[in-house]
Amino acid sequence: MILEHFADTLLTTLLDPRLMLLVVVGVGIGIVLGALPGVSSTMALAILLPVSFGLEPGAAMLFLIAVFMASVYGGSISAILVNIPGTPGAIVTQFDGYPMAQSGRAGHALAYALIASSIGGLIGLTLLITLAPGVVAVAMSFRSPEFAMAAVFGLVLLSFASGGSTFRGILVGLIGLLCGMVGFDALTDVSRFDFGTAALQGGVELVPLTVGIFGLAEVLRNLAARDGALPPVPSIGSMIPPLGSIARLWKTILRGGVVGTFVGAIPAAGSAISVAIAYAQEKRLSRHPERFGKGEPAGIAGPEAANSAGVGGSLVPMMTLGIPGDPITAVLMGALLIHGLRPGPLLFANEPGFVATIYVAVFLAVLLTLVIGFGFMRIIAQVMRVPRALLFTAIALLCVVGSFAIRNSMVDVYVMLFFGVVGYLLYMIRIPPAPLAFGLILGPILEENLRRSLIISGGSWSIFIERPIALALLLLSLAAIVAPLVVPLLRRPSMRPPRDGAP
Amino acid sequence: MTGSAPLHVLAAGALLAATAAAPQPAAAFPDEPITIVVGWPAGGAQDTVGRLVAEYLEAELPVSVVVTNVPGAAGANGVRDVEQAAPDGYTLGTKGVHAVAQSYMNPNATPLDAMDPLALVNIDPAAVSVHADTGIEDLESFIAYLRDNPGGLINGNDSPGGFSFLTAELMERALDIELTKVPYQGYAPTVSALVAQEVMSATLPVPMVADLHEAGDVNILAVAAEERHFRAPDVPTFTELGHDFVFADYVMIFGPVGLPEDVRDTLESALLAAMDSEDFRAAADGIGLILDPQGADGAAALMQATDAAVHPVLVEAGLVETDAQ
Per residue in B247-280, pLDDT (tens digit) is 999 999 999 999 999 999 999 999 999 999 999 9
Percentage of residues of chain A with pLDDT beyond 90: 32
Tell me which residue in B73, B162, B180 faces A202 most closely, judged by beta carbons.
B73
Length of chain B: 325
> Quick check: A53 pLDDT over 90?
no
Q: Does B27 lie at the interface with A, CB-CB under 8 angstroms? A: no
CB-CB neighbors (< 8 A) of B105 in chain A = 189
State the pLDDT at residue A157. Answer: 77
CB-CB neighbors (< 8 A) of A349 in chain B = 192
pLDDT, one tens digit per residue, over A220-268 is 988 887 666 666 777 788 888 888 888 889 999 999 999 999 988 887 6
pLDDT, one tens digit per residue, over A371-426 is 999 988 888 888 777 787 888 888 898 889 888 877 777 888 999 999 999 999 99
pLDDT, one tens digit per residue, over A286-299 is 888 888 988 899 99
Helix pair A270-285, A297-321: axis angle to 10 deg = 140
State the pLDDT at residue A451. Answer: 93
CB-CB neighbors (< 8 A) of A146 in chain B = none
Report the alpha-carbon distance of residue A213 to residue A439 in Å, rounded.
Answer: 13
> Quick check: A194 pLDDT over 90?
no
Name A109's Cβ contacts closer than 8 Å, sequence gap at least 6: A80, A96, A97, A100, A101, A295, A300
Q: Are strands B201-202 and B127-131 parallel, antiparallel or unpaired?
A: antiparallel
Q: Which string of DSSP letters, residue by residue, matches A250-308?
A: HHHHHHHHHHHHHHHHSTTTHHHHHHHHHHHHHHHH-S-GGGTTSS-HHHHHHHHHHHH
- Would you kindly state where each structural domain of chain B is located, as residue ranges? 32-123+250-316, 127-223
CA distances from residue A22 to A29, A114, A215 in whole angstroms, order as listed: 10, 21, 22
Looking at chain A, which residue has its C-alpha nearest residue B70? Answer: A407
Confidence of residue A462 (pLDDT cuts 50, 70, 90): very high
State the pLDDT at residue B211. Answer: 87
Helical segments of A162-242, H only: 166-181, 206-210, 217-224
Which range among A51-65, A437-451, B21-35, B128-142 shows the weakest confidence by mean pLDDT? B21-35
State the pLDDT at residue B157. Answer: 94
Confidence of residue B22 (pLDDT cuts 50, 70, 90): very low
To the nearest whole number, what is the mean pLDDT of chain B? Answer: 88
Fold classification of B32-123+250-316 is D-Maltodextrin-Binding Protein; domain 2 (3.40.190)
Report the alpha-carbon distance of residue B71 to residue B128 in Å, rounded.
Answer: 28
The residue-averaged pLDDT of A186-194 equals 83
State the pLDDT at residue A161. Answer: 60
State the pLDDT at residue A201. Answer: 81
> Quick check: A44 pLDDT over 80?
yes
Tell me which residue in B154, B161, B180 faces A189 most closely, judged by beta carbons.
B161
Beta pairing partners, B219: B130
Is the ipTM above a cut-off of 0.85?
A: no
> Which residue did the predictor score with more confidence, B107 or B267?
B267
Report the alpha-carbon distance of residue B177 to residue B140 in Å, rounded.
Answer: 12
State the pLDDT at residue A341. Answer: 80
Report the alpha-carbon distance of residue A473 to residue A152 in Å, rounded.
Answer: 8
State the pLDDT at residue A492. Answer: 53
A41: closest CA of chain B, how far (Å): 27
The residue-averaged pLDDT of B84-107 equals 92
**Binding-face residues of B in 234-253 toward A, CB within 8 A:** none
Tell me which residue in B80, B161, B180 faces A198 most closely, judged by beta carbons.
B80
Find out whether B98 and B314 touch, Cβ atoms under 8 Å: no
> Which residue did the predictor score with more confidence, A487 or A366?
A366
> Which residue did the predictor score with more confidence, A463 or A342?
A463
> Which residue did the predictor score with more confidence, B54 or A226?
B54
The residue-averaged pLDDT of A187-214 equals 84
Report the alpha-carbon distance of residue A435 to residue A443 in Å, rounded.
Answer: 11
Confidence of residue B181 (pLDDT cuts 50, 70, 90): very high
> Quick check: B10 pLDDT over 60?
no
Report the alpha-carbon distance of residue B71 to residue B294 in Å, rounded.
Answer: 26
- Would you kindly state where each structural domain of chain A is located, as residue ranges? 2-490
CB-CB neighbors (< 8 A) of A185 in chain B = 159
To the nearest whole number, what is the mean pLDDT of chain A? Answer: 85
Q: Does B182 lie at the interface with A, CB-CB under 8 angstroms? A: yes
> Quick check: A52 pLDDT over 90?
no
State the pLDDT at residue A162. Answer: 55
pLDDT, one tens digit per residue, over A127-165 is 999 999 888 888 878 889 998 998 888 888 777 665 556
State the pLDDT at residue A385. Answer: 75
A30 in helix, strand or coil? helix
Q: Does B150 lie at the interface with A, CB-CB under 8 angstroms? A: no
Name B256's Cβ contacts closer than 8 Å, sequence gap at least 6: B82, B83, B84, B85, B86, B87, B91, B114, B115, B116
Helix pair A297-321, A93-100: axis angle to 10 deg = 140
Find out whether A417 and A216 touch, Cβ atoms under 8 Å: yes
CB-CB neighbors (< 8 A) of A198 in chain B = 73, 76-77, 80, 108
Confidence of residue A364 (pLDDT cuts 50, 70, 90): very high
- Nearest CA-CA partner of A71 in A98, A48, A101: A48
> Quick check: B42 pLDDT over 60?
yes
> Quick check: A45 pLDDT over 60?
yes
Q: Using alpha carbons only, how large is chain A's radius of gyration in Å?
A: 22
State the pLDDT at residue B71. Answer: 79
Confidence of residue A71 (pLDDT cuts 50, 70, 90): very high
Helical segments of B176-231, H only: 187-195, 206-215
CATH code of the region B127-223: 3.40.190.10
Q: Do B182 and A408 touch (CB under 8 A)?
A: no
Confidence of residue A361 (pLDDT cuts 50, 70, 90): very high
pLDDT, one tens digit per residue, over A76-117 is 998 898 887 878 788 889 899 999 998 888 999 999 999 999
Looking at chain A, which residue has its C-alpha nearest residue B79? Answer: A198
Among A339-343, B184-188, B312-316, the range of highest mean pLDDT: B312-316
The residue-averaged pLDDT of B228-249 equals 94
CB-CB neighbors (< 8 A) of B74 in chain A = 184, 189
Sheet holding B218-223, edge to edge: B180-183, B154-157, B201-202, B127-131, B218-223
CB-CB neighbors (< 8 A) of B160 in chain A = 188-189
Tell me which residue in A188, A197, A203 faces B160 most closely, judged by beta carbons.
A188
Tell me whether the omega of the peptide bond preceding residue B30 falls within 30 degrees of 0, making it cis.
Answer: yes
Helix pair A106-140, A250-265: axis angle to 10 deg = 40
> Quick check: A502 pLDDT over 50?
no
CB-CB neighbors (< 8 A) of A183 in chain B = 72-73
Examine domains B32-123+250-316 and B127-223 and report if their fold is the same: yes
Q: Do B106 and A201 touch (CB under 8 A)?
A: yes
Tell me which residue in A185, A201, A452 faces B77 most closely, judged by beta carbons.
A201
The whole-angstrom distance between residue B104's C-alpha and the CA centroid of its chain comes to 17
- Nearest CA-CA partner of B39 in B254, B311, B300, B287: B254
Tell me which residue in A187, A198, A340 faces B42 most closely, judged by beta carbons.
A340
Report the alpha-carbon distance of residue B271 to residue B291 in Å, rounded.
Answer: 13
A406: closest CA of chain B, how far (Å): 9
Percentage of residues of chain A with pLDDT beyond 70: 94
Write the single-letter amino acid at A16.
Answer: D
Q: Provide the CB-side half-sphere exposure for A161 (13 A, CA).
A: 31
Tell me which residue in A143, A198, A452 faces B196 most closely, judged by beta carbons.
A143
Report the alpha-carbon distance of residue A300 to residue A100 in Å, rounded.
Answer: 10
Q: Does B273 lie at the interface with A, CB-CB under 8 angstroms? A: no
Chains A and B form CB pairs within 8 A to the count of 79
Report the alpha-carbon distance of residue A206 to residue A212 in Å, rounded.
Answer: 10
The residue-averaged pLDDT of A333-350 equals 81
> Which residue did the predictor score with more confidence, A360 or A483?
A360
DSSP letter for B137, please.
-
State the pLDDT at residue B158. Answer: 92
Find out whether A207 and A49 touch, Cβ atoms under 8 Å: yes
The residue-averaged pLDDT of B183-208 equals 90
**How many other CB atoms sit within 10 Å of the CB of residue A142?**
25
Q: Do A408 and B70 touch (CB under 8 A)?
A: yes
pTM of this structure: 0.77
CB-CB neighbors (< 8 A) of B201 in chain A = none
CB-CB neighbors (< 8 A) of B159 in chain A = 184-189
